[in-house]
Chains A and B, each alone.
Chain A
Amino acid sequence: MINALRWLVFAIAAFAMNFPILVTLVTSFKSTRELSTNPGLWVQAPTLDNYLAVFQVSDRLNIFLYLFNSITVAFIGTTLAVVLALPAAYAIARGRLGERTLLPFIVNLRAVPLIIFAIPLYMMFQWLALLDTRLGLGLILSIVNLPLALVILVNAIRDLPGELDEAALMDGASRTQILLRVIAPVCRPAIVTSLIFGFITAWNEFLFGLMLTTSKAVPITVGASFFFAASGGGVQWGVASAVMVVGALPPVLLGLIMYRQISGSMTAGAVKG
């Protein structure tokens, strides 16, 4: 009885929280005609027309390019952030370098509305010829991702016993070797966590995509908005929903695949008994 109630509550909560997603999913399978007559949560005549429209490449719209752009910039923005954050986190956690001022400063950057950076960045990027390039957008995203990655990794490394480093020192490892061959593998769950959060942030980023790209490097978030009024006239809700579903799939899949990597402690067995 209690159990059944629990499941009921769980189902209601899951339904309520995922309501927008359900609506989008359902809408994406409705024809334009059905949309004007049936606002409900069911589909009378499911159609793939909206998806076909989304995957139709024209001179104005190219979903494949947007997806490719998003994957590329998210990849750059995520890996670069972690590659930069790992040695920095090691220095902060072990050398206590910049622990008192630099770390809080960098972390606080994340609290500032990103729009503040947009205008100076636009001018800088113009000068560096990075406007409307995947590299340019990727670099910005890595800066956006850096603070969180840094915090996650500093905490992970702090949790490791210092004797681990010392054992490696006695074994003749250099600092770089300790970082790459002992610390990094042991911190794998934290690294994967930073990568997932970074990827999700980068994938969903809209502001810089809108400001810093125009055609060649447009990411999916910005590209999706192009579909809303693709054929003139009002908003095409069916097509808009379909493009959003397509755009949301990659991070969801990634999350599901990578989640297993996060769980499970890597340090088990390192020390004591």
Chain B
Amino acid sequence: MGKISLRKAGKQYGTVEIIRDLDLEIADGEFVVIVGPSGCGKSTLLRMIAGLEATTAGQIVIDGRDVTEALPVERKLAMVFQSYALYPHMTVRQNMGFGLKLAKLSSGAIKTKVDAAADTLKLTPLLDRYPKELSGGQRQRVAIGRAIVREPVGFLFDEPLSNLDAALRVDMRLEIAKLHRTLGTTMIYVTHDQVEAMTLADRIVVLKDGRVMQQGTPYELYEKPANLFVAQFIGSPKMNILACKRNGDGQLDLSGQGFLEMPLRSDAVPVQLGARPEHLSLVAPENGHCRGTVEAREYLGGTTSVFVRNPELGLINVSAPAETGFGIGETVGIHIDNVRLSLFDAAGAAVISSR
């Protein structure tokens, strides 16, 4: 059990609306990742679901029960904080057992549950230590352990890995994914990290100014962004956005710099074209859909990012093979893969091509 629904949920601080009219249905066992720019209300949304922040409009329903006014503990959710928020005066064992103790479980039952959770998270040798005697990664594990012993219907994570170094973050990411597989519990996860979002999520929710811009599987968001915002937010390096116009022959006119064959619905009026760096390739100047001068190269090991300057279209990032021969100052052609590009109208909404 762990079906969480937000119905027209809203949050206002005084007169400032942080979250508005937000509808979200999270299925039992689903892993939902919430992303969005800083200040868009991700933490606020998570804290509203947790019950740490009052919901000022709409409803929050968990497993069919309206919990909009319920205390955090009544929602049977567990939260893992970015700062871990371990109790400094308690040992790892006491930290993990605190919630159970408050729930008046017998000390035998608490021990069994804590030992089991510690075993899952490889915390057994650390049970008698205090938080100050643990490394950052171990503290994070304890925070997760504290969440799982209570057997919640859902987990809430607010950027849980952002204080860890890169290598540890990868380990913990895999561990959280494994935890989700073994427990099968609903998880809602806020992050800034593209890779975390893409790899962990069953579904990604992109938030901007307290509104859902798009939700879908990582594949859907990456391949079929619903709007310009999502197109640019998802994916690293960012998608190239090129100004374009539809001409009479049903072709796309790239600001007079070139043409692209593109079967379009008759009513579609795209004004911008989005193409990810890996969907562009460098060719001889006379062969590309448009051309430009190589301005910079960034060798990334697996690939090289080549930045090509076009007087009308601006700087275009092309992901080229690592050993690419095109040097700075050279004139190159750019080939655009017209199957995997996205088109947007004047309002920034995606235009559906006819294929």
A169 touches B130 (CB 8 A): no
A186 touches B89 (CB 8 A): yes
B150 touches A186 (CB 8 A): no
* CB of B102 closer than 8 Å to a CB of A: yes
Chain A window 258-273, contacts with chain B (Cβ cutoff 8 Å), 1 for yes, 0 for no: 0000000011111111
Q: How many whole Å from B96's CB to the nearest CB in chain A? A: 10
Which of B51, B73, B88 is in CB contact (< 8 Å) with A268?
B88
Chain A window 170-190, contacts with chain B (Cβ cutoff 8 Å), 1 for yes, 0 for no: 111100010001100110100
Which residue of chain B has its CB nearest to the CB of A270? B88
Task: Answer whether A170 and B163 are a contact pair too, CB < 8 Å, given A186-B89, A273-B135.
Answer: no
B79 touches A164 (CB 8 A): no
> How distant is the Cα of A173 from the Cα of B137 in the complex, in angstroms?
26
B79 touches A167 (CB 8 A): yes
* CB of B326 closer than 8 Å to a CB of A: no
* CB of B85 closer than 8 Å to a CB of A: yes
A169 touches B83 (CB 8 A): no
Q: How many whole Å from A19's CB to the nearest CB in chain B? A: 43
Q: How many whole Å from B345's CB to the nearest CB in chain A? A: 43
B81 touches A166 (CB 8 A): yes
Within 8 A of B (CB), among A123-166: 161, 163-164, 166
Within 8 A of A (CB), among B81-136: 81-89, 98-99, 102-103, 130-136
Task: Answer whether A169 and B72 are a contact pair too, CB < 8 Å, given A272-B136, A272-B163.
Answer: yes
A166 touches B52 (CB 8 A): yes
Q: Which residues of B contact A (CB under 8 A)?
A: 50-52, 71-73, 77-79, 81-89, 98-99, 102-103, 130-137, 139, 146, 150, 163-164
Residues of A within 8 A of B77 (CB): 170
Residues of B within 8 A of A177 (CB): 102
Residues of A within 8 A of B50 (CB): 170
Q: How many whole Å from A102's CB to the nearest CB in chain B? A: 23
B83 touches A172 (CB 8 A): no
> How distant is the Cα of A188 from the Cα of B79 in the complex, in angstroms?
27
Which of A172, A182, A267, A273 is in CB contact (< 8 Å) with B73?
A172
Which of A168, A171, A172, A266 is in CB contact (< 8 Å) with B88?
A266
Q: How many whole Å from B67's CB to the nearest CB in chain A? A: 14
Residues of A within 8 A of B134 (CB): 269
A164 touches B85 (CB 8 A): yes
A270 touches B150 (CB 8 A): no
Which residue of chain A has its CB nearest to the CB of B84? A271
> How distant is the Cα of A268 from the Cα of B131 in the complex, in angstroms?
8
6 residue pairs bridging A and B, Cβ less than 8 Å apart: A166-B52, A167-B85, A186-B87, A270-B84, A270-B86, A270-B87
Q: Which residues of A contact B (CB under 8 A)?
A: 161, 163-164, 166-173, 177, 181-182, 185-186, 188, 266-273
In the complex, given contacts A163-B82, A167-B79, A268-B88, what are 4 additional A-B residue pairs having Cβ atoms less than 8 angstroms apart? A163-B81, A172-B73, A172-B102, A273-B139
Which residue of chain B has its CB nearest to the CB of A271? B83
B85 touches A166 (CB 8 A): yes
B88 touches A269 (CB 8 A): yes
Residues of A within 8 A of B135 (CB): 273
Residues of A within 8 A of B88 (CB): 186, 266-270
B132 touches A163 (CB 8 A): no
Q: How many whole Å from A178's CB to the nearest CB in chain B? A: 10
Residues of B within 8 A of A173 (CB): 98, 102
Q: How many whole Å from A171's CB to the nearest CB in chain B? A: 4
Residues of B within 8 A of A185 (CB): 89
Sorted nearest first, the 3 A-B pairs with minimum C-beta distance are A273-B136, A269-B132, A269-B131
Identify which of A166, A173, A181 gathers the most chain B CB atoms within 10 Å of its CB: A166
B73 touches A269 (CB 8 A): no
Residues of A within 8 A of B131 (CB): 268-270
A272 touches B72 (CB 8 A): no
Which residue of chain B has its CB nearest to the CB of A166? B52
Residues of B within 8 A of A268 (CB): 88, 131-132
> How distant is the Cα of A269 from the Cα of B99 in the complex, in angstroms?
19
> How distant is the Cα of A104 from the Cα of B249 in the complex, in angstroms?
77
Task: Answer whether A269 and B85 are a contact pair too, CB < 8 Å, given A169-B52, A170-B79.
Answer: no
Which residue of chain A has its CB nearest to the CB of B139? A273
Residues of B within 8 A of A161 (CB): 83, 85
Residues of A within 8 A of B71 (CB): 169
Which of A169, A172, A182 is in CB contact (< 8 Å) with B87?
A182
B72 touches A164 (CB 8 A): no
> How distant is the Cα of A168 from the Cα of B50 in the complex, in angstroms?
12
Q: How many whole Å from A4's CB to the nearest CB in chain B? A: 39
> How distant is the Cα of A242 from the Cα of B189 in the complex, in angstroms?
70
Residues of B within 8 A of A269 (CB): 86, 88, 130-134, 139
Residues of B within 8 A of A171 (CB): 73, 98-99, 102, 146, 150
> How distant is the Cα of A63 from the Cα of B85 in the complex, in angstroms?
51
> How distant is the Cα of A273 from the Cα of B132 in the complex, in angstroms?
9
Residues of A within 8 A of B83 (CB): 161, 163, 270-272
Identify which of B71, B88, B134 gathers the most chain A CB atoms within 10 Å of its CB: B88
Which residue of chain A has its CB nearest to the CB of B103? A172
A270 touches B85 (CB 8 A): yes
> How distant is the Cα of A35 from the Cα of B84 in the complex, in angstroms?
67
Q: How many whole Å from B44's CB to the nearest CB in chain A? A: 13
Which residue of chain B has its CB nearest to the CB of A160? B88
A172 touches B85 (CB 8 A): no
